[in-house]
A and B are shown apart, each in its own frame.
Chain A
Amino acid sequence: MGQSSLPQIKSRGELVIATDPTYPPFEYMEKEKMVGFDVDIGNEIGKDLGLKVRWVGLEWAGVLGSLESGKCDLAMAGVTITEERKKHGYIFSRPYMLSGQEIVRRKGDNRINGPKDLIDKVVSVQQETTGQYAVQKLGVPKDRLLRFDQVQDGLMNVRNGKSDATVGDLPTIKAILQKGYPELEMVGEPFVKESLGIVVWKNNADLDGLINRSLALMMVDGRYAAAYKKWFKEPLTTSIVAELENRKGQGSPVKEIPLENFAKIERAPNMGGSAFTFRWDLVREALPQMLKGALLTIELTLLSLIFGIPSGLIFALMRISKAKPLKAIATVYVEIIRGTPLLMQIYVIYFVLPAVGLELSAMVSGILALSLNAAAYISEIFRAGIESIDSGQMEAARSLGMTYGQAMQNVILPQTVRRVLPPMTNEAVALLKDSSLVSVVALAELMRVGKEIATNGGSPTTVYVTVAAIYLAMTLPLTWLVRRLEDQWQPISRPRDGARTFKKVKA
């Protein structure tokens, strides 16, 4: 998709707005409909420009990145105006909402009464938000800073006792606590004052000028006040309006453009194509961090295989066993794991188990979830492998006086291992890729690192291409290595009719 510019937006007749609809009262889903303060304001901007508005719900990590790629024209997601983001090429409108970073603790937890008390505590935040930056600035070290995709994950974590406090945007925290989390409370006034702005990519300064004009109009004609009252459940006071006017300079230095100018713009012919440049500087800057993420990915995969393969074998042996209870346990286990998404299993282990008193760190939860998942799939691979061995092999071994266990160990399993090598490789590769899902419990593996860099780096395309290359660099050698092993282990076989023997088969 091409980069958006006013003539193209005009010919499209549609304003595309990126957001993350897990953020009440700014934007959230209500009965499959996206609603909220931003949604009302954004729709009014569309009306002012004579455009339809299409809302695109993304994960927060993808919201800003969608602007650079031209997939969306502007972002409204309660985005805080920061100099860092401006530096990366984002243009902000004038502030359209006052915000600030608010601390949340468990009710009555008297150890936390202000920002200074956070320094020696475990704090969760939504990743790559100004909340995270504010907490980092306080001096909370990385290992006690748990970063999640969603605000709610942070709140859940405090409730579970996995962290002591969470920090987030005041309006959102307020809205969520009004509806749920009776065991949590806010700590005093926000300790960092912030302003929220509407975001466009740097090539769209004109659009920003129009937005500023539209916002200015809304603030005088009462539309802004109506939306404010509706979503923040309090009247818009003159002091808030004055403060917003005061902070006007916090937005990017773009002049208001009269709306009539937009009406006069000619429709552009469809240009097609895009001027994408691969940002080597960004790669150089981010590579060390990505490689660290890749290392964690490898660690997660290896540990999960180390636990998953033996347990998979045990489940497989239980499943083919004649003892009914063993068989039943293994069958139920495999069906449950195979029948539910891995992401849900990770959530259950990390967020739900604490509710029944089982407290696990993010790393242990991640490895546990991946191992349990891998064990189920691996047990099916082993089972199929064992069952594919001719029954005469077991009979011959038993007729020689071997016990069932001896026959399994010395006759059946050595043959099974050779046979299951290819599907086992598939499983290992799948596991390596699936390990990206544990990023939801705040583990900085490769995918997670990529997301973080893409959120603010300005060129998600560059970041994701690089991440993909690193994943390939990990999986391709694995497949290659196993193919080599397979060649060497090829069971010596003899065609029925010929006299030639094959010791090795060329791949």
Chain B
Amino acid sequence: MKPVLTIRDLHKSFGKNEVLKGINLSVGEGEVIALIGASGSGKSTLLRCVNRLETPTSGSIEYQGQTISDVNINQMRREIGMVFQRFNLFPHLTAADNIALAPRKVLGSETAIARAAAIDLLKQVKLAEKADAFPGELSGGQQQRVAIARALGLKPKVMLFDEPTSALDPELVGEVLEVMRDLAQLGMTMIVATHEMGFAREVAKRVIFLDSGRILEEGSPDQVLGNPKEERTREFLSRVLNR
């Protein structure tokens, strides 16, 4: 399998606090990776480094053999979509306009074409009827689905999900996970930071356990979630599953 993303010896510090302590990771095309670990273990920072919302302290990240840097980042971000915990929809734009904005501004699509594409994406996340609703008129689950559609607007090859269901009421989690499951089935390469172990077990091809800025254990969901080798992994899982 050809790697799409290759992360080499990635370090990231905020002041004196080193959050990532040498991450090495290779992501194959169409692979779905679940990133698990306690809060503060570095999941979010790792995803934000890949999208360069944070600048790594050292190490490198390659996308299809090309090192991601400040110079080519706007280009790279077209290939790598990101979904945030708090949705971050643009409140002054309708759902359709939220999705169409980047294609229009970044790719130069015509307004009508961008809107038609946006409606298609809304259909994909089962929200076609909400095209002209403003974010404030949508539930949290609907907002996150629009946010996913928005990230798909540039037709990225890789999608990063930063705890996409953590800010949702429990009854709204299911609809978002369903959309993500569909996406995985379509062959999207995904890295998902999550606390949803059920989703990780079912959808992920590989589970990575991050502990204090290091990858402590990785493998198939059955290995890592069902029969963890490391004591820290077992502790974490028992905490999460017995909650």
Contacts and interface: CB of A to CB of B under 8 A. Distances in A.
Interface string B73-116: 01101100110101011111000000001100110000000000
Interface in A392-429: 392-393, 395-403, 406, 410-411, 414-415, 418
A392 B86 CA distance: 8
13 contacts: A390-B88, A392-B86, A392-B88, A395-B53, A396-B147, A397-B102, A399-B51, A399-B151, A401-B74, A406-B105, A411-B101, A493-B91, A494-B137
B179 to A, nearest CB: 18
A501 interface: yes
Interface residues of A, dominant DSSP: helix
B78 A401 contact: yes
Contact of A398 (B77, B135, B153): B77
A400 B153 CA distance: 9
> In which size bucket is the chain A interface?
20 to 34
B195 interface: no
A491 B105 contact: no
A481 interface: no
A393 B78 CA distance: 17
Nearest to B147: A396
A396 B84 contact: yes
Contacts of A492: 91, 134-137
Interface in B121-139: 134-137
Contacts of B106: 400-402, 406
Nearest to A418: B92
Given A401-B102, A493-B136, A494-B136, A395 B88 contact: yes
Contact of A400 (B75, B77, B91, B135): B77
Interface of A: 390, 392-393, 395-403, 406, 410-411, 414-415, 418, 491-494, 501
A390 B53 CA distance: 15
A388 to B, nearest CB: 13
Contacts of B53: 395, 398-399
Contacts of B84: 392, 395-396, 399
Contacts of B134: 492
A390 B91 CA distance: 11
Given A400-B81, A402-B105, 6 more contacts: A396-B90, A397-B102, A399-B82, A400-B153, A401-B77, A401-B106
B119 interface: no
A440 to B, nearest CB: 43
A411 B90 contact: yes
A403 B74 contact: yes
B150 interface: yes
Contacts of B35: none
A393 B92 CA distance: 11
A404 to B, nearest CB: 10
A396 B102 CA distance: 10
Contacts of A392: 84, 86, 88
B200 interface: no
